[in-house]
């Protein structure tokens, strides 16, 4: 018998399936839009069209995986970030909207002329690639302790910003002896005690080493604070994402280690502390 399921019917069935198992039903639309490379308007235009059998089968398989808790971005193998599609895998964090705000802050506050820029803990390469693609005059390097993450980042570099340099290693080890005008990072910052309130799919599928940090999630800010004078140029800038409850603690870490630096905590669009900027003074 010929398939007669429309895109609209498939979408509604998927939303019901996800709701039944207490997963976010919006993932049904996300999977459909991303798989078809459609906007929402295009989806509406195709609502009454019969979905080809092979597409329907693939879509139902994807929805089943998400119903079991797997993030939709890992099911698809890619995720949107700052207007581009990035390859992702369980070796990398899924790029998030809050990190787009961090990238926007860097882009809007720095000169468009030649800058040496380092992205520490690059993961999928979303930050490094975006900065390089948006500012071709910059020289961007991305590092990560995970070779598997760097392999994913390399694919995104090849697609969007071949000028980016990638290296494997912990923190600043891969760029020893070099100095940068801008350093940016979305480091691990979750305290292990917060595990109980975390989304289950994040705990089960996203890389643990990219999520959790010692000293109540503050370990990497402490390491950065000690190292910045040796890796930033004289009036260099450091930008990082942080946990929404960490603003005061992160400010104190940098002000204590770098008394003459200017430290700014910025809120995200939801009004939560989310980013820090450290400006060195000569």
Q: Which of 279, 242, 240, 273 is nearest to 258 (CA)?
A: 279
Instruction: Kindly give the pairing relationship between strand 232-241 and strand 139-144.
Output: unpaired
Is 144 known to sit in a ligand binding site? yes
- Cα–Cα distance measured from residue 251 to residue 169, given in angstroms and rounded to the nearest whole number: 27
Is 113 known to sit in a ligand binding site? no
Is 237 known to sit in a ligand binding site? no
Is 124 known to sit in a ligand binding site? yes
The two structure tokens encoding residue 152: 């994913």
Please check whether residue 115 is in contact with residue 139, taking contact to mean a CB–CB distance below 8 angstroms.
yes
Look at the alpha carbons of 86, 91, 94, 99 in this order and tell me if their dihedral is positive or negative.
negative
Torsion angle of alpha carbons 147, 148, 153, 158, nearest 10°? 90
Is 188 known to sit in a ligand binding site? yes
Is 187 known to sit in a ligand binding site? yes
User: Binding site residues for substrate, as ranges?
Assistant: 186-189
User: Binding site residues for S-adenosyl-L-methionine, as ranges?
Assistant: 121-125, 144, 186
User: Binding site residues, as ranges?
Assistant: 121-125, 144, 186-189
């Amino acid at each position: 018998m010929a398939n007669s399921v429309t895109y609209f019917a498939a979408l509604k069935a998927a939303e019901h399936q996800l709701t039944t198992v207490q997963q976010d039903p919006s993932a049904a639309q996300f999977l459909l839009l991303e798989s078809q490379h459609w906007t929402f308007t295009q989806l509406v235009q195709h609502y009454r069209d019969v979905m080809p059998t092979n597409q329907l089968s693939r879509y139902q398989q994807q929805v089943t995986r998400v119903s079991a808790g797997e993030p939709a971005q890992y099911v698809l193998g890619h995720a949107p970030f700052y207007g581009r599609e990035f390859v992702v895998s369980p070796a990398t964090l899924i790029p998030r909207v809050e990190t787009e705000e961090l990238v926007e802050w860097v882009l809007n506050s720095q000169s468009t002329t030649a800058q040496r820029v380092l992205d520490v803990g690059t993961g999928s390469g979303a930050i490094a690639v975006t900065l390089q693609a948006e500012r071709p005059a910059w020289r961007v390097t991305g590092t990560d302790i995970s070779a598997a993450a760097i392999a994913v980042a390399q694919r995104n570099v090849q697609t969007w910003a071949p000028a980016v340099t990638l290296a494997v290693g912990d923190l600043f080890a891969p760029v020893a002896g070099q100095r940068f005008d801008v350093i940016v990072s979305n480091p691990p910052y979750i305290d292990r005690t917060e595990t109980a309130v975390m989304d289950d799919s994040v705990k089960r599928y996203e890389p643990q080493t990219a999520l959790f940090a010692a000293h109540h999630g503050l370990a990497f800010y402490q390491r950065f604070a000690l190292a910045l004078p040796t890796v930033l140029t004289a009036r260099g800038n450091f930008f990082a994402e942080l946990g929404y409850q960490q603003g005061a603690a992160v400010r104190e870490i940098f002000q204590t280690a770098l008394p003459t630096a200017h430290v700014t905590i910025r809120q995200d669009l939801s009004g939560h502390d989310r980013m820090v900027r450290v400006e060195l003074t000569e």
